[in-house]
Structure 1
Amino acid sequence: MRSMHPSRHPHYPITVQTCEDHNQNSRRRPLVPYDDEPPTLFRVDDPFCLRKAIVPMFHADDTDILTGMGTAFALDPWGNFLSADHVTDFLRRGVTEQSGEIAIPDGAHALALLGMGVIFGEVGIPPEALVQMTGTRTPMIPVDDPMNFTGRTTTRPYDITFLSSATTPSERLLQNLPIRRYPTSPRVGDLVVAVGYPKIELARGPAPSLPTSITEGMFAAYGVVSNLHPRGRDRANPTPVFEVEANWPSGMSGGPVFNAAGEVIGLVSRSIAPADEDALGTAWATWLAASVPPTEPAAISWPESIDAGDLYFRNAWAAVRLDPWRLEGFPTTEQEATALARNLGHDFRPRLVSQRLGTEIYSVCS
């Protein structure tokens, strides 16, 4: 039995904001199609907000030719991103130890194109808008393999990967999304919407100074949750997912999936197109709370920057003096904050600090 069409769902449409826009009380705008596009897949005209949080991912070969791989989204302002593992699994090829964090091997180039606003025709991409990933972490789970006679544990990756860049992106090119990293869980019948880049085309010639031809293509697609698979679909697909009646075409993989409250609860994993183009297909979203549970030991955990207590805050280190209150710097590591506090003296200490994104409001973490 098929669910109701997304446009007739009582929670349609869904309003999505970045953390920065939410905290600055910017005007809220629901995700709705323009003209005659159906809500099951439509272009998103939002160059200065969502496009700074949701980014297309590319593979660069040795001649700087870029090939679109899928979608990712920013986890924090300091160069951490989240995507689907199958979008960037080529980064692990040739690496024998695949659990934990690995440095991306030489010759494997994954880049995110940060939000530059509106693009017309051919433009030269500023270097700061292309962020190269230098590290990746993917949760791996032991699985039963009847064909494994080696005695070694067989593992498979969850379809989720944490990516990190070597440099902190420019704050004017990057915003963040509210991440629901723990339940409430999705329920059958819930309305969700995915956002990604199924139609972006980008290619650059060998000379870095050549302009880059870009065809812009951020799209959103509504769907209704039809099933829950907290332990994966089967032995070959162990990723915890929720099943959705939706049309999520190739290229949206790794893009965020929002609940009716506008919170990210999953990311686009797999999909099967419908036999009838007027019908809805079947899609699966990696279930964030089930894939990286916050209360259980795991080989892969959320970055320290993700605030467990508030979706709109992020954590980082700073040099702090409590009396009188003063905060200096906002580096990403305790070592940097320790060095800064030592240089400042006068009762400064390195402390983990939480910032309400888009504001100058901070709190010292306990």
Structure 2
Amino acid sequence: MQYTRPEAGAPLNGVAKLRRTDHREIEEGSETESMPFPIDIKLFADGQNLAVVDDVALRDRILPIFGGKRSTPEERWQGIGTCFRIDPFGTCATAFHVIEDLITPSIDGATIEIEPDNFLAALEMPAIIFGEVSIPQDWWRPLSGISSVCAGIERRPLQEAQIWNASELTSLVLTPAVPSNSIPFLSTHLTWVPQIGDRVLAMGYAGLDLDLEGVGDHRPLKQCIYASLGEVIDIVHANGDSSQPWPKLHVNADWPGGMSGGPVFNEAGNVIGLVSAGMGSVSTATWFGGWTIPEWQFPTVDPVNPGRFLGYAVIDKYGEVRLFSPKRSACEDLIKEIPGSAIRFVSFNPGTREHIRLNA
């Protein structure tokens, strides 16, 4: 069975299921059951703005970002924001302004790269840690790639190229501790449409590594995921004439510094944007579904089916996926070893291993 694009109500591998974009897949005739926010929102019952998130699964998926100078390795690495894993291949999303001071135009002026004297890494802790511990080197995830497909690069005669923030979206590729085909990720909905009054939940490392007690650079590194619940009070659509052309949601919540770049969830439990700015009692999310740029920025994410990904699969003669990759070349060696197998471009669910064949 072949599809040009998975649509609502389309069969999945021959099994009739109703696909609801912001709900679990449910069999036809059964009751709709919404997925919850990723944490219990009873934590906000007393009206507090921030709640601590002690969840190992979320810590695997939402990471603090640190940056520094290679020329001064003795100086403390500085916490600069939050990123989150957006696919099973090691890609993370963050806000452009989080890394803006660390990047430079590439030599050919066509894209961006980390300025040679700068470095950037995320910290991945294998468990919830209590007390003070030394940070092993293998908890750091160094950067192996960076891109912003809509970064504005301005070129003027006799001047160096300048970068301006044109989408507030950036992809980071982090080097895993060991090679893996099962990197954890957050389910993302790139085409969700908000309404005024929708509740959203932001997560990130609020106050990341701030020296609140004036101890100086020898203080222990403190970092914790916080969540903040709010309602959408204003929707700003994409506007190419604006200095900030990306679509925005204004939310009645206070998202402190350090949360920038963190995921923003809708009530179905899917990531629908990222934290862009906090302005006291009103904060701003960059909303994915207000334009098509996120589909270019995160091409492995199936834009209409949260939790599914686009890529190439080696499918054996029984119809089972033996390998899934964003690159066709990664499949070409394996197909020689499996008689009767074929390479197909598919939408793939890593959890259920269901696939939908697409035209590409």
- C-alpha distance in structure 1 between counterparts of 2:209 and 2:260, whole Å: 15
> For residues 162 and 141 of structure 1, do their structure 2 counterparts lie closer, same or farther at Cα, with a shift above 3 Å needed?
closer
Structural RMSD (CA):
3.9
- C-alpha distance in structure 2 between counterparts of 1:319 and 1:127, whole Å: 36
- C-alpha distance in structure 1 between counterparts of 2:51 and 2:200, whole Å: 14
> For residues 31 and 232 of structure 1, do their structure 2 counterparts lie closer, same or farther at Cα, with a shift above 3 Å needed?
farther
- 2:96 matches 1:85: yes
Structure 1, unaligned runs of 5 or more = 1-15, 18-24, 204-211, 274-280, 295-299
> For residues 127 and 195 of structure 1, do their structure 2 counterparts lie closer, same or farther at Cα, with a shift above 3 Å needed?
same
Q: Count residues with an aligned counterpart.
A: 317
Structure 2 partner of 1:253:
260
- 2:133 matches 1:123: yes
Contact map agreement 1:54 1:73 (CA 8 A) in 2: yes
Contact map agreement 2:89 2:183 (CA 8 A) in 1: no
- 2:218 matches 1:180: no
Q: CA deviation at 1:76?
A: 0.8
Structure 2, unaligned runs of 5 or more = 1-21, 24-34, 212-218
Q: Pick from 189, 193, 198: which aligns with 1:190?
A: 198
- C-alpha distance in structure 1 between counterparts of 2:206 and 2:271, whole Å: 19
> For residues 288 and 325 of structure 1, do their structure 2 counterparts lie closer, same or farther at Cα, with a shift above 3 Å needed?
closer
- C-alpha distance in structure 1 between counterparts of 2:147 and 2:117, whole Å: 18
TM-score normalised per structure 2:
0.73
- 2:117 matches 1:112: no
Q: CA deviation at 1:57?
A: 0.9
- C-alpha distance in structure 2 between counterparts of 1:173 and 1:61, whole Å: 32
CA deviations on 1:330-349 (whole Å, 9 max, x unpaired) are 4442112112223x152333
Structure 2 partner of 1:244:
251
- 2:298 matches 1:303: yes
Q: Which residue identity is paired with 1:157?
A: A
Structure 1 partner of 2:5:
none
CA deviations on 1:191-245 (whole Å, 9 max, x unpaired) are 2111100133399xxxxxxxx9442311111122121211359833223211112
- 2:345 matches 1:335: no
Structure 2 partner of 1:42:
51
Q: CA deviation at 1:120?
A: 2.1
Structure 1 partner of 2:215:
none
Structure 2 partner of 1:347:
340
Contact map agreement 1:180 1:265 (CA 8 A) in 2: yes
Q: Which residue identity is paired with 1:78?
A: F
Q: CA deviation at 1:107?
A: 3.0
Contact map agreement 1:318 1:351 (CA 8 A) in 2: yes
> For residues 353 and 139 of structure 1, do their structure 2 counterparts lie closer, same or farther at Cα, with a shift above 3 Å needed?
closer
- 2:59 matches 1:66: no
Structure 1 partner of 2:233:
226
Contact map agreement 1:115 1:174 (CA 8 A) in 2: no
Contact map agreement 1:232 1:240 (CA 8 A) in 2: yes
CA deviations on 1:107-137 (whole Å, 9 max, x unpaired) are 3221122242211233344544322223222
TM-score normalised per structure 1:
0.72
Contact map agreement 1:233 1:240 (CA 8 A) in 2: no
Structure 1 partner of 2:270:
263
The 3-state SS of whatever aligns with 1:164 is strand
Q: Pick from 137, 144, 148: which aligns with 1:138?
A: 148
- C-alpha distance in structure 1 between counterparts of 2:203 and 2:37, whole Å: 20
- C-alpha distance in structure 2 between counterparts of 1:201 and 1:38, whole Å: 25
- 2:166 matches 1:157: yes
The 3-state SS of whatever aligns with 1:51 is helix
Overall identity of the aligned pairs, in %: 26
CA deviations on 1:5-42 (whole Å, 9 max, x unpaired) are xxxxxxxxxxx99xxxxxxx9997523327x9644222
- C-alpha distance in structure 2 between counterparts of 1:61 and 1:121, whole Å: 28
> For residues 307 and 186 of structure 1, do their structure 2 counterparts lie closer, same or farther at Cα, with a shift above 3 Å needed?
same
Q: CA deviation at 1:188?
A: 1.8
